[in-house]
A and B are shown apart, each in its own frame.
Chain A
């Protein structure tokens, strides 16, 4: 086929082009992070479609995770209450609150390992702000979290409605901190796992182990002395749980937990920014 050249002058006028002037195609890490964040419509859609897709052709859709969570909580909860000599009315709300947060954190960590590997199809064919993938991932998990909260509400309503108090509002700053940390974790892990393909295995076993050594099934107070310092106070995951779980069970989170979360956010973002700035260029080459 032959292409007939039309008069270029006429064409240019017709194009509404916001990018006028010669500019470099290089994107800096900061540009990527900010421009990515600004494309709320896009990452919102990518995250939402992921949730929607997962449950296409099912009847109750995303509530399947909620139902799984409910069954899990009820069965493990009855055993756990006996095991740790807990009052079931106290223990079930405690367990479900912890599980809701844990599922958010662990799925962010696990899915982020595969984030850039799975995202290749996108960024190898179009110019892309990589951070969008991280925002979409966290957003998607946040949406799943909202579904899981339904289980929390049902269980608490049934067992201990007194938990619905003003303390519950402290969930919001807690979640905000978790999400703020979640984004850097997914960017960081995503990058490392793209380059070193055995890190995903490492992450998944670390998560399995930390599920048991973190006060998730058992109350932190059951440990005392040195063990408490190691598994509770020095365990960052405890603080991650605490800032969201404490308000869910009617307690104000410890100040130290907020401190740890803020420190983690600052340190983590600083580290991630450095790594991202250094290796952002290489992402397309590594994939």
Chain B
């Protein structure tokens, strides 16, 4: 049995500047009363992790996703016992096998054999245990005579092979890995990949920190989404990775929205900017009249929303329901042939663009236009919809709000035969299997 249990864990890093770390400051800071406060105010503390509670059990293959500095590595190091929490507890059942450094204590002047023994002992093996592993390591790393030479004579590839052979010869406990360890990369030969798979397969729990949702989806069954030192979500790897993707977009959207707002407040008439307005994705978006609506002097966007089987405001949609996208826009000037269109993306990937088959000149007024996505067309994933209005002859874009709407398509697990079917769409095709 193995388990990793974290309860209300906090970790703060004090940041000491060159000045801060000096003894003089500490002594005189104490001696001159008031400056202690000053000292305390000056001290920068990075709250690397705040209030983390997490329980991992046998069989968990957990991915840690999040931006740089979200606390992934710190969390791993806490689980490894390298950092002790400022408050809260980290408890572990079974052994922990951190793979942050394949060969701790490596010294270029020592031979390969010597380094194997030093690193092995640092990892926690006894000398006898390591010596028993040496034939296996020798065989796997294929360094031959080189093992008797100082490691500084090795190429980086050879060094990596040695570290990899050593690490994977261990009996894995709870594996803790940073993406830097290279397991996700395809630079390993097939043999190494198989060995790594076997190694991870033998471990009761694996935790892997990565930026890449692709790696996490491939290697993990659960995932933790971290943001600014907190756990935002914990659940099945696929869902969390989608949510991570969504949050990456949301952050970009907020940023763009901010920039847009700044630009609008600084320009007297925001019409030209409004035409390419962008806002955060959700299942509905509306622009009240008193707000600058996206658009130009011809037409403006009032609102857009999603309807699922006629019901509004869904965020998670089963792929077999009827998804209807609606946009409401106001036409201000007559004499334009207007074509509403929706741009559907799966993450970064363009899935399709759609517009009505026929378009006509629209008189000033408010219009509703809807597009229905057939049941079962979209594959599972997080989709984003851009809403646009274009006039033809001459071609002119009146507004295009990227990522105006966002929604997740899921599927009730019972109907899925395979774990995951790739591709943005999964329409029902006509099939025939006959005997020739």
Are A199 and B23 within 8 A (Cβ)?
yes
The chain B residue sitting closest to A5, CB to CB, is B201
Known: A125-B100, A126-B122. 7 other contacts (CB 8 A): A1-B218, A2-B218, A22-B5, A121-B104, A124-B100, A196-B23, A197-B22
Measured between C-beta atoms, what is the minimum distance from A32 to chain B in Å? 11
CB atoms of B91 and A124 under 8 A apart: no
Q: With contacts A19-B95, A23-B93, A126-B80 known, is A46 near B59, CB below 8 A?
A: no
Closest 9 CB pairs of A and B: A25-B81, A125-B101, A6-B201, A127-B81, A196-B23, A281-B84, A22-B93, A125-B100, A25-B90
List B contacts of A158 (CB < 8 A). none
Given contacts A20-B94, A41-B121, contact A12 B89 (CB under 8 A): no
One of B33-41, B109-117, B349-357 contacting the partner: B109-117
- Please pick, from B21, B61, B91, B98, the residue contacting A22 in the complex, using a CB distance under 8 A: B91
Q: Are A46 and B197 closer than 8 Å at their CB atoms?
A: no
Q: Judge whether B171 is part of the interface by a CB distance below 8 angstroms.
A: yes
| B23 lies within 8 A of A14 (CB) | no
* Residues of chain B within 8 A of A3, CB atoms compared: 61, 197, 200-201, 218-219
Chain B residues with CB under 8 Å of A46's CB are 105, 118
A15-46: contact bitstring with B at CB < 8 Å (1 yes, 0 no)? Answer: 11101111111110000000000000110011
Tell me whether A14 and B84 are in contact (CB under 8 A). no
Complex: how many Å from CA A211 to CA B82?
Answer: 39
Hey, which chain B residues are within 8 Å of A169, CB to CB? none
Known: A22-B91, A22-B93. A127 touches B201 (CB 8 A): no
**Contact between A1 and B23, CB atoms less than 8 A apart:** no
Docked CA distance A11–B174 (Å): 12
Of residues 130 through 175 on chain B, the ones whose CB sits less than 8 Å from some CB of chain A are: 150, 171, 173
Q: Is the CB of B204 within 8 A of A21?
A: no
Closest-by-CB residue of A relative to B83 is: A284
Q: Tell me which residues from 67 to 91 in chain B have a Cβ below 8 Å from any Cβ of chain A.
A: 77-84, 86, 89-91
Residues of B contacting A21 with CB < 8 Å? 93
The smallest beta-carbon distance between B15 and chain A, in angstroms, is 10
Shortest distance in angstroms between A254's beta carbon and chain B's nearest beta carbon?
A: 35
What's the minimum C-beta distance from B84 to chain A, rounded to whole angstroms? 4
Given contacts A24-B91, A49-B114, A122-B122, contact A11 B193 (CB under 8 A): no
Q: How far is the CA of A266 from the CA of B12 in the complex (A)?
A: 34
* Interface residue? B184 (CB, 8 A): yes
> Which residues on A sit within 8 Å (CB–CB) of B110?
49, 53
- The interface of chain A, by Cβ under 8 A from chain B, is 1-6, 8, 11-12, 14-17, 19-27, 41-42, 45-46, 49, 53, 56, 121-128, 195-199, 202, 280-281, 284-286
Contact A25 B91 (CB under 8 A): yes
Tell me the bound Cα distance from A123 to B110 in angstroms. 20
Check B121–A45 contact: CB distance below 8 A: yes
What residues of chain B have their CB less than 8 Å away from a CB belonging to chain A? 1-3, 5, 11-14, 16, 18, 21-24, 26, 58-59, 61, 77-84, 86, 89-96, 98, 100-101, 104-105, 107, 109-110, 114, 117-118, 121-123, 126-127, 150, 171, 173, 183-184, 186, 193, 196-198, 200-204, 218-219, 221
Q: Which among A16, A45, A125, A197 is the interface contact of B117 at CB below 8 angstroms?
A: A45
A contact residues around B18 at 8 Å (CB): 197
- In the complex, what distance in Å separates the CA atom of A286 from the CA atom of B12? 11
Q: Tell me which residues across on chain A come within 8 A of B26, comparing CB atoms.
A: 196
Chain B residue nearest in CB terms to A53: B109
Contact status A20-B197, CB under 8 Å: no
Contact assessment for B84 and A25 in the assembled complex, using a CB-CB cutoff below 8 Å: yes
Contacting residues, chain A, for B23 (C-beta < 8 A) = 196, 198-199, 202
Please tell me if the beta carbons of A41 and B21 are within 8 angstroms of each other in the complex: no
For B5, list chain A residues within 8 Å (CB): 22
**Judging by beta carbons under 8 Å apart, are B101 and A20 in contact?**
no
Residues of chain B with a CB closer than 8 A to A27's CB: 81, 84
Contacts A23-B91, A202-B23; A12 near B121 (Cβ below 8 A): no
> Given the interface contacts A126-B123, A127-B98, A196-B22, does A4 sit within 8 Å of B201 by beta carbon?
yes
Measured in the bound complex, the distance between the Cα atoms of B262 and A225 in whole Å is 82
Q: How far is the CB of B188 from chain A (nearest CB, A)?
A: 8
Known: A122-B104, A125-B82. A17 touches B61 (CB 8 A): no
With A2-B218, A285-B14 known as contacts, the answer to whether A17 contacts B22 (CB < 8 A) is no
Known: A1-B186, A1-B197, A122-B122. A6 touches B202 (CB 8 A): yes
CA distance A17 to B171 in the complex (A): 9
Min C-beta distance of A28 to chain B, whole Å:
10
Q: Which residues in B have their C-beta under 8 angstroms from that of A124?
A: 77, 82, 100
Q: Which residues on the B side are within 8 Å of A286 (C-beta)?
A: 14, 16
**Given A8-B204, A22-B91, also A285-B104 (CB < 8 A):** no
Q: Complex formed: what's the CA distance from A224 to B186 in Å?
A: 77
Chain A residue numbers with a CB within 8 Å of B118 are 45-46, 49
**Contact partners of A5 in chain B: CB under 8 A:** 59, 61, 201, 221
**B193 and chain A: residue at smallest CB distance:** A1
Instruction: Determine which residue in B90, B202, B218 has the highest number of CB atoms from chain A within 10 A of its CB, and name it.
Output: B202
Inter-chain contacts of A24 with B (CB < 8 A): 89-91
Which residues of A are found within 8 Å of B203, using beta-carbon distances? 11
CB neighbours (8 Å) of B91 from chain A are 22-25
